[in-house]
Structure formats: C-alpha cells, structure tokens
Amino acid sequence: MSAGAPQTGFRDEAFERRLSARHRRGDLYRWLCFAAAAVGVITLAALLLDVLHDGLSRLSPQFLSSFPSRRPDEAGIKAALWGSIWMISLTALMAFPLGVGAAVYLEEYASNNWLNRLLEVNIANLAGVPSIVYGLLGLGVFVRFFGLGRSVLSGAATMALLILPVIIIASREAIRAVPRSIREASYALGATRWQTIRHHVLPSAFAGILTGTILALSRAIGETAPLIMIGALTFIAFTPVSVFDPFTALPIQIFNWVSRPQPGFHVNAAAGILVLLAVLLAMNSAAILLRNKFQRKW
Amino acid sequence: MAVLTRSRRAERLREGVIQGALLACGVVSILTTVGIVAVLIVETLAFFREVPIVDFLTDTQWTPLFAEKHFGILPLLNATLLTSVLAMVVALPLGLGSAVYLNEYAPGRVRSVLKPLLEVLAGIPTVVYGYFALLFVTPILRAIVPETQIFNALSASIVMGIMILPMVSSLSEDAMNAVPVSLREASQALGATRFETSTRVVIPAALSGIAASFILAISRAIGETMIVTIAAGQMPRLSWNPLEAMETMTAYIVQVSLGDTPAGTLAYKTIFAVGMALFVITLLLNFLSQWFVRRFREVYE
C-alpha cells in the first residue's frame, strides 16, 4: 500500500489505518468460518472415536450370532441383524418399482395438468414429513386397518412409503440427465414411447437410479422411530421365517440397549452401532462405486 | 394389412396399459398423503370427542398415563420448541459459517474433503446421535455444570444442532452459489474486501435461500425423534430450563408406543392427536420455506 500510494505525493493515513483494520476483520471472519466448518468435522471424529472406544472390544462372532439376553455379555444382535436384512429387502422390493415407475411417469409422460402438478407438490411435501408421522400411518393403516400386525411386512411397507419420495426425486434427476437426442433417435427409428424408455432411457439412467435407491435404503436401515411406532419388538429370540412374523431391527435393538441403565448394555449399544455404521458404510461405498463405474458423460 | 392393424392396436393398448401402470405408481404417493391425513383426522376427532379441544390447547399439564388425567399439549409443545430453538442456535452460525468457508475460502482440495465429511454427518442414524448425546455430551455438560440432570434438553439440542448443520450448510451454499459472479466482481472492483463482499453483497443476495434452509432445518428439528427421546427424557414439564429433563411431542409418541397401549384407548388416541399437531406444524413450516424462496428470490439478468 505505502509503496503504491506515494506516487501521487499524497497518503491518506486514516484510510490506510482503516484498511488494515478491515483486513484484520476479514482475517478474523475467515478464521471464524473455518472454525465453524471444523466443528462439524471434529464432532464427527469425536462421535466415531467414542463409539469405537466403547464398543470395539465387544464385537465378536458371539455378538453377531447370539439372541438378546438379560445378561449383557451374553446378548447379541442375531435377531436384529436378520430383522433388518428382511425388512430392507422387502422395502427395496416395494419402493424400487414404485419409485422408478412414478419417476418415469413424471419425466416421460406427464403433461402440465392439475393431476401432475398435484403429484409434484405432493412428493415435495412428503419428503418433509417427519418419519414418526409415517410411523403413525403404518400403525393406523398396515398394522390395524389391513390387519398385518406387528410384522416385517408392516415395517417394510411403512419404510417403503417413507423413502419413496427420495427414490422418486433421485430417479427423476437421473432420467432427466439422459439427453433428448437419444429419445429422438429412438423415435425416428419407429420405436414407441415405452420401447424408447425400456431400451434407451432406463438403461442410460440406471446407474443414477440405483445410486439414489441405495442411498434411500441406507436411510431406511437407520430409521428407528417409525419401527417403534408399528411395534417392532425388542426382545425376540428368533429370526423371521415369513413376512408375517414379528421382528426387531438394528436401530431398535440399539435404542433398547441405550435406554437401559446398566453400563454393560451401553457397551452392547456401541457395538451394535459399529455394526450398523459398517452396514451403512458398505452401502454408501457401493453407491459411490456404481456411480463412478457407470456414470456417463453426454 | 389386417395383421398390421391388429398388431398396431395391440401395441397401442400395451402403451396405454403401461402408461396407466406408471401413473398408478405416482398415485401411490398421493394415497400416502391421503392415508396420513385420514389416519390422523379419524383418531384425532375420536380424541376430541373425549377431551375438549380447549383443554388440549390451554391446559398446562400433560398426564394422560396417570390416574388424574390432564391433556394439555403445552408442556410437550414447549419442550419441542425449546429444543428446536436451541438446536438452531447451534446449527445456524455453524451451518452458515461452514457454507461461507466452503463457498468463499476453501481451496479446492480442502473443499473436496470437507464437503463429503459434512455429508457423512447428515447420514448418521439419529439413534446413534442419541447415544452420543446421552453418553458423551451429557457427561461433559455435567462436569461443567454439576446441577445438569442426566436427561436434559441442552445435550439433546446441541447434538440435534450438529445433526441439522449439514442441511443448513449445503442449502445455504447452494443459495450463495446461485449469486452471479458479476456481483462479487463488482463489489471487489469497488475495493471491498472479501469479508465485505461476503457479508454485504453475497449473503444479502442469497438471503431468501438461506432463510428457506433455516426454516427447513427448524422443521427437521421439530420432527426429530430419537435424539430427544434418548437424551432429553420422558418428563412432561412446562419449563424453560434446558438443564432439566423434559418431553417433546415426538418423545411422548415413542413413550406410548413402547408401552402396551391397546387400540381404541384414550392413550392410543393421544399419540395421533399429538402426531396431528406435529404434522400441521412441520407442514406449515415447509410451505413457509417454499413461499420464502418464491417470494423473496432475487432474480438476476
């Protein structure tokens, strides 16, 4: 500053004093913003280290293969793990076709009429409904009205509705990314609308749709509140053999152990969290790998 | 020719059937909304046949599971609002600060690490956050302020703030990204520092999007269940002291569901009445956020 300014033979000392104060304020702001971003990362690290510290020593084949027990060191997550696998598979079977179907309709067929505008607004708002309200829906409709009871099927159906908006939104984005020219080329060769979608649009958008679906399912596998509502039990000494069996799930088992006063169960909860986080990590890695492997640049 | 026409007709029929099936998939989402509203309205009306709506809205005690029953939602609502506001006190500055850092300052390499890490924070199941609040944050709070209760609203709020931070950060950053570069350049050409450009040009221009992200985050906090259930306790109490145990609306719903509550009992109906209140509040906030974006968006070019 002082090197450039004197050429005019004039220095505004007040300005320069203010300028350095302004720069100091700017530096402070920069550091505060950095600190804000750091807090999130530090908390994440603290959370992971805390859970690892509490639960790592408890992880063992016995923990994975035992049913719940009143004695913490004999309890395990076999029922919860299998319950989660059952539930998430059924959820995927229901939510994937419905979500992709709705996305194809909205992107490829829908014209701008009242029904389709209603669909759009509705999906956007469903995405903002708290998960516990879906639990009330599941309780009122699947458990009571359809009489499915507190079964895996009730749980999976509730979860499917919960993640449906997420799958629809992700699939629509993937479908929208397929260029128009692909469709026009297909039509020009005489293909019908469905043939175009079936043979060109869907295969091109498939990686994106699958990635979105896996991310949505990984949300469902960690959801707790809706399952408590529909009455997933916590003390179950068997694995489901049919979709009408009662069940428990990983987050429910973790919640049950956290809520007990004995520290031994808290250790179990931490170990259960490690298993849950490992499952989530595996699902998310799969999603990222798929995206990188099949992503097309048009 | 006749064969061709027949196959054409079959083809057209098939196309129509497929379109109908796809539309049906979309209609499922409308049925979901209808189902939610119907279930909530039916049970809530049944509840109000037994408990006057005035009591529900004005009574200051909530004791539906006791012998002497009171059905005032205020203690639950109060706890929900207190925890949500405190969570915003955490999430708002941290989220906005992170957004500014990522948007203005972070070098490419730092950004490519920082942003995914913040997204990981958003993907952690809430039951895990609950564990962290009760068994990590609460002991620290109790070491600092010994009169803190084991179950307390503060610990739940802090952790809930961390949970919604990524949402505030990523939506605010999107809003800042949408501000045209020409505005920044004009500001800097006039001699403004980066700090001045950020606080007097970029943030005001992105304000509608930032405000919308805040409103959505509050809505998330109000509907959050597991963190407050695990860490804030099950003690309906009309209090503004965050060091005490209290019970939010969501925590109450969980408390009843964990017990053996047969369908048709009054206790069973209360969870739908509380759920209705929750649904209406979050829905209004979501509408408000969408309205904000539409109404106050600055349009350039």
Q: pLDDT at position B243, please?
A: 92
When the pLDDT of each residue in chain B is averaged and rounded to a whole number, the result is 90
Please give, rounded to a whole number of angstroms, the shortest distance from the CA of A110 to a CA of chain B: 9
CA distance A250 to A79: 9
Q: Does A175 have pLDDT greater than 90?
A: yes
Per the DSSP assignment, residues forming a β-bridge with B71 are B62
Q: Does A88 have pLDDT greater than 50?
A: yes
Q: pLDDT at position A1, please?
A: 45
What's the average model confidence in pLDDT over B203-221?
92
Q: Please, are residues A80 and A272 in contact by the beta-carbon 8 Å criterion? A: yes
From B150, which residue of chain A is nearest by alpha-carbon distance?
A261
Model confidence at A183, pLDDT cuts 50, 70, 90, reads very high
Q: pLDDT at position A73, please?
A: 81
Q: Does A92 have pLDDT greater than 50?
A: yes
Least confident of A47-56, A226-235, B43-52: A226-235
Model confidence at A298, pLDDT cuts 50, 70, 90, reads low
CA distance B285 to B212: 9
Cross-chain Cβ contact B105/A46 below 8 Å = no
Most confident by average pLDDT, A241-245, B11-15, B124-128: B124-128
Which residues in B lie closer than 8 A to residue A231 (C-beta atoms)?
A: 257
Q: Which of A120, A224, A259, A291 to probe the B interface (max B CBs under 10 A)?
A: A224
Give the orientation angle of helix B266-296 with respect to helix B207-223, to 10 degrees: 170
Task: Please give the share of chain A, as a percent, with pLDDT higher than 70.
Answer: 95
Half-sphere exposure of B190 (CA within 13 A, CB side): 10
pLDDT tens digits along A205-222: 988 899 999 999 999 999
Which residues in B lie closer than 8 A to residue A141 (C-beta atoms)?
A: 35, 39
Q: Does B294 have pLDDT greater than 90?
A: no
The set of residues, in sequence order, having a beta carbon less than 8 Å from that of B154 and lying 6+ positions away, is B86, B141, B148, B242, B243
Q: pLDDT at position B143, please?
A: 94
From B162, which residue of chain A is nearest by alpha-carbon distance?
A40
Q: Does B137 have pLDDT greater than 50?
A: yes
CA distance B164 to B168: 7
Q: pLDDT at position A2, please?
A: 47
Which H or E run contains B137?
A: none
What's the average model confidence in pLDDT over B45-72?
87
Please give, rounded to a whole number of angstroms, the shortest distance from the CA of B87 to a CA of chain A: 14
- Nearest by CB to residue A228, choosing from B28, B125, B258, is B258
Q: pLDDT at position A167, please?
A: 95
Q: Please, are residues B155 and B138 in contact by the beta-carbon 8 Å criterion? A: yes
pLDDT tens digits along B60-117: 888 887 778 888 899 999 999 999 999 999 999 999 999 999 998 999 899 989 988 9
What's the average model confidence in pLDDT over A19-30?
92
What's the average model confidence in pLDDT over A64-72?
84
When the pLDDT of each residue in chain A is averaged and rounded to a whole number, the result is 89
Q: pLDDT at position A9, please?
A: 60
Q: Which of A16, A49, A105, A284 to probe the B interface (max B CBs under 10 A)?
A: A105
From A27, which residue of chain B is nearest by alpha-carbon distance?
B195
Which H or E run contains A243?
A: none
pLDDT tens digits along B156-193: 999 999 999 999 999 999 999 989 999 999 999 999 99
Model confidence at A293, pLDDT cuts 50, 70, 90, reads confident
Assign 3-class secondary structure to B195-221: HHHHHHHHHHHCHHHHHHHHHHHHHHH
Please give, rounded to a whole number of angstroms, the shortest distance from the CA of B245 to a CA of chain A: 15
Which residues in B lie closer than 8 A to residue A269 (C-beta atoms)?
A: 131
What's the average model confidence in pLDDT over A96-107?
95
Cross-chain Cβ contact B25/A134 below 8 Å = no
From B20, which residue of chain A is nearest by alpha-carbon distance?
A105
pLDDT tens digits along B144-162: 999 989 999 999 999 999 9
Q: pLDDT at position A112, please?
A: 81
Cross-chain Cβ contact A41/B15 below 8 Å = no
Please give, rounded to a whole number of angstroms, the shortest distance from the CA of B12 to a CA of chain A: 9
Which residues in A lie closer than 8 A to residue B23 (C-beta atoms)?
A: 105, 109
What's the average model confidence in pLDDT over B209-226?
93
Q: pLDDT at position B2, please?
A: 58
- C-alpha angle A54-B257-A235 in degrees, rounded to nearest 5: 50
- Nearest by CB to residue A101, choosing from B22, B102, B250, is B22
CA distance A150 to B270: 20
Q: pLDDT at position B3, please?
A: 61
Task: Please give the share of chain A, as a percent, with pLDDT higher than 90.
Answer: 60
Q: pLDDT at position A239, please?
A: 80
Half-sphere exposure of A103 (CA within 13 A, CB side): 30
Q: pLDDT at position B86, please?
A: 96
Q: Is the backbone of residue A110 left (phi > 0), alpha (psi -120 to 50) or beta?
A: beta
Give the amino acid at A4. Answer: G
The set of residues, in sequence order, having a beta carbon less than 8 Å from that of B184 and lying 6+ positions away, is B197, B201, B202
Q: Does A93 have pLDDT greater than 90?
A: yes
CA distance B139 to A266: 14
